[in-house]
Structure 1
Amino acid sequence: MTNAILSGPVGRRGVLKTGVAAAATMLFAPHYIRPAQAAETITLLTWETYHDDDWIAEWGKANNTEVRAVRIGSEDELFSQAFSGAVQADILYIETGSLPRFKNAGLIKAIDPSAVANIKNISPALDWKKYTNVGGEIMGIPYNWGTQPLMFNADIVKKTDTWSVLWDKTYAGQVNMFDDCTMTFPMIALYVGAKDPFNLTEAEFSACAEALRALRQQIRVIARGFDDATTLYAAGDAVLGYCQNVAVVSSLQAKGKNFKYSLPKEGTPTWIDCHSISARGDRPIVYKFINDNEAADWQSRFITKSTNNGILTADVATKAGVSEATLKLTNIVDSQAPDFWDRMVVFQKPEDLDRRLQLWNDFKSGTL
């Protein structure tokens, strides 16, 4: 097994050339002439596809503000960039399970939902306050959510209702994983039957270690980012794996590959990425940026361009201009099923991230 290294940062929501992107109406007064010196600056620690340069430049011109986007490739990188001080961010895009870690490190402060009128656009099915409440304080407001399902080449893989297929010797050397311990470990815990994948017992930790040891024999390459994974699958170097985002499947389908995804019976890890603010980000212009990001027209363009889920219901997304074809490439329609959220496992704070990281690194190095 080798680790694929890319030349630039790409995350689990990296740019995918799916062919589904459509030209969108320009937002926020694009005719506005930007002054030589913007009155304010906003720095984002964000993911690929979340804030394209042309979008934020457009918003900046309309709001006399320079918006700088620093794009990261994993949740662990997001933390290290902020913790080390390498990036002094105003807004950080953090999944719910990591919010306690960032709060405890003093990297984010409570956010005021009453200052974001467009939270009215968040789908009622997304029980976000349950997952963003840390110690009685709301630490984030959702911008996007997504599943990490099982993906597979439907011409080759037939049993697709369980994570155990990743360990099936039939597919030795043809399984793909991606390099993000925080996002991957809960799937391993679900596979071994952990009662709570975020609070493992000693016996469950041991079972996870054994599972990782066996999984290593199945994997040829650990992918770093969307584009890398898509290339591996398209070339036939992998036929199934743990999917970073269903948009990977959409990209392969656009290439004429018969890839699909499923939501295994053991449960599917699910993330909710949130706008979170640092102390320096507690400013009116920052709240305006967040509020505009929650607007239906901004979300429509985001969903259409990236095939991410955003925060809208299918009905609101359609009214805002998202096509039926694009909706089918997302989990938005899936999420309307009555039992959908019962089958999802939303990321939460793990009991011992350092221990998980050590096991993951040992798994990658082959010393487990």
Structure 2
Amino acid sequence: MGNYQFDRRTFLKSAAGLGALVTLPGLAKRAFADQGEITLLTWETYQDDPWIAEYTEKTGVKIKAVRSGSIDEMFATVQSGAISPDVIYFDTGTANRFKNSGLIAPFDASQVPNRSNIASSMDWEAKATIDGTLYALPYNWGNQPLMYDADATGGEPQSWDALWDPKYAGKVNLFDDGYVVMQMIALKIKAADPFNLTDEEFEACADALRTLRPQVNTIARGFDDALTIYAAGDAVIGYCQNISIVNKLKSLGKNFAYTFPQEGTPTWLDCAVLTERGRRKEVYDFINETLTPTWQARFISTNSNNGVLSPEAAAKAGVSPEALANTNILDQTEDGFWNKMVISKLPEDIDRRVAMWNDFKAGTL
């Protein structure tokens, strides 16, 4: 078992109001022959070390979890050969980028019978299919809303424009992921298609970033950085990387909330995606285990992730009402919820977007 990180991003292991952790039954320690090793390229909170240890005890299969800090970092790591993973966890909007570079392989969903536990409302197959071939299987979904300190804002902002409000100068926070932040910027300028910008819209994004820079004092390098920044009062409004940050701030007595702006909210569907070396039975078996109601309930309850279960299935599996309230699982049952979400797609030119983001950080835009 391995626990590796590329940056200092460390997730907050608890969130406000979460119920008792869900434990896996029947995991008494047994002796197994070595069944090989699986390398995951994944995120904090997705497969916690104790869960990996339990799975190894149960099956004899060793799991090495390499935890990354951004999509760009994941892509560069695999492309360079620095890591040779069996499974990579990223959103459906990124899949084409990896496929076009020959880094991933088709996914045989018949090897994962627990895919039947994925909520039917997710309509995931179309999103995980490229040119008629399935490449991914959902594990988690979420969004990046607008978060704010209600005491400082005096109410609920309705638009991304709030980040540009002069009264928040030096008090706006963003997280360091150009792939995702540029989606929000494209929505803010009301691009006709936020994933297919024209040259004029690219220039409008550049103008928006230039005027946003004086608003931003610090860019968060992960969940822990964001928590520290907001808790210290160094930011009162920002682009939220994960709603668990809001939940933790609430548990600290801070009056934080999040909202879905009228222009739309970037939304992702993270999936297990295989490399060619990952097309092995023990890899499919591991992915199958992570889609059991028991695993998913613990995944949801422990770290405020949405997982893939329906609200009814999550509750039946033991997710408490308090834990559900700290996710978007119940939100999706509201009329018009998905109309407010903008599902990530492969943009027209990732390199151009990332270069613009890097120029923004360097102050050379």
Aligned to 1:356: 353
Whether the aligned pair in 2 keeps the contact of 1:15 and 1:48 (CA below 8 Å) is: no
Q: How does 1:186-335 map to 2 (within 5 A)?
A: 186-335=183-332
Aligned to 2:92: 96
Task: State yes or no: 1:156 paired with 2:152.
Answer: yes
User: Residue by residue, what CA displacement relative to the aligned partner does 1:109-128 show, whole Å, maximum 9, x if unpaired?
Assistant: 11012221111111122121
1:293, 1:299 → 2: CA distance? 7
Instruction: Note the C-alpha offset of 1:17.
Output: 3.2
| TM-score w.r.t. length of structure 1 | 0.95
Whether the aligned pair in 2 keeps the contact of 1:162 and 1:264 (CA below 8 Å) is: yes
Instruction: Note the C-alpha offset of 1:30.
Output: 1.9
Aligned to 2:133: 137
Aligned identity (percent) is 49
Instruction: Note the C-alpha offset of 1:266.
Output: 0.2
Whether the aligned pair in 1 keeps the contact of 2:140 and 2:271 (CA below 8 Å) is: yes
Task: State yes or no: 1:17 paired with 2:14.
Answer: yes
1:135, 1:295 → 2: CA distance? 29
Whether the aligned pair in 2 keeps the contact of 1:152 and 1:240 (CA below 8 Å) is: yes
Aligned to 1:45: 41
**Aligned pairs, number:** 359
Whether the aligned pair in 2 keeps the contact of 1:16 and 1:251 (CA below 8 Å) is: no
List alignment gaps of at least 5 residues for structure 1.
Answer: 1-5
1:23, 1:255 → 2: CA distance? 20
Farther-moved stretch of structure 1 (254-263 vs 334-343): 334-343
Letter in 1 for 2:268: W
Whether the aligned pair in 1 keeps the contact of 2:6 and 2:69 (CA below 8 Å) is: no
| TM-score w.r.t. length of structure 2 | 0.95
2:359, 2:14 → 1: CA distance? 34
SS at match of 2:121: coil
Aligned to 1:74: 70
SS at match of 1:341: helix
SS at match of 1:342: helix
Whether the aligned pair in 1 keeps the contact of 2:138 and 2:272 (CA below 8 Å) is: yes
2:96, 2:125 → 1: CA distance? 14
Correspondence for 2:60 among 59, 64, 75 = 64
Farther-moved stretch of structure 1 (154-163 vs 72-81): 154-163
1:356, 1:116 → 2: CA distance? 36
Instruction: Note the C-alpha offset of 1:134.
Output: 1.2
Letter in 2 for 1:156: A
Aligned to 2:83: 87
Instruction: Note the C-alpha offset of 1:38.
Output: 1.8
Aligned to 2:339: 342
Aligned to 1:3: none
Whether the aligned pair in 1 keeps the contact of 2:144 and 2:241 (CA below 8 Å) is: yes
Whether the aligned pair in 2 keeps the contact of 1:9 and 1:72 (CA below 8 Å) is: no
Whether the aligned pair in 2 keeps the contact of 1:9 and 1:71 (CA below 8 Å) is: no
Letter in 2 for 1:212: L
Instruction: Note the C-alpha offset of 1:34.
Output: 4.1
Whether the aligned pair in 2 keeps the contact of 1:16 and 1:248 (CA below 8 Å) is: no
Correspondence for 2:142 among 142, 146, 151 = 146
Instruction: Note the C-alpha offset of 1:10.
Output: 2.0
Instruction: Note the C-alpha offset of 1:229.
Output: 0.3
SS at match of 1:315: helix
Aligned to 2:24: 26
List alignment gaps of at least 5 residues for structure 2.
Answer: none
Whether the aligned pair in 2 keeps the contact of 1:16 and 1:247 (CA below 8 Å) is: no
Aligned to 2:50: 54
User: Residue by residue, what CA displacement relative to the aligned partner does 1:325-360 show, whole Å, maximum 9, x if unpaired?
Assistant: 010010001011131111100110010001001110
1:16, 1:230 → 2: CA distance? 12
Letter in 2 for 1:88: S
Whether the aligned pair in 2 keeps the contact of 1:16 and 1:226 (CA below 8 Å) is: no
Where has structure 1 moved over 6 Å in runs of 4 or more? none
Instruction: Note the C-alpha offset of 1:7.
Output: 9.2
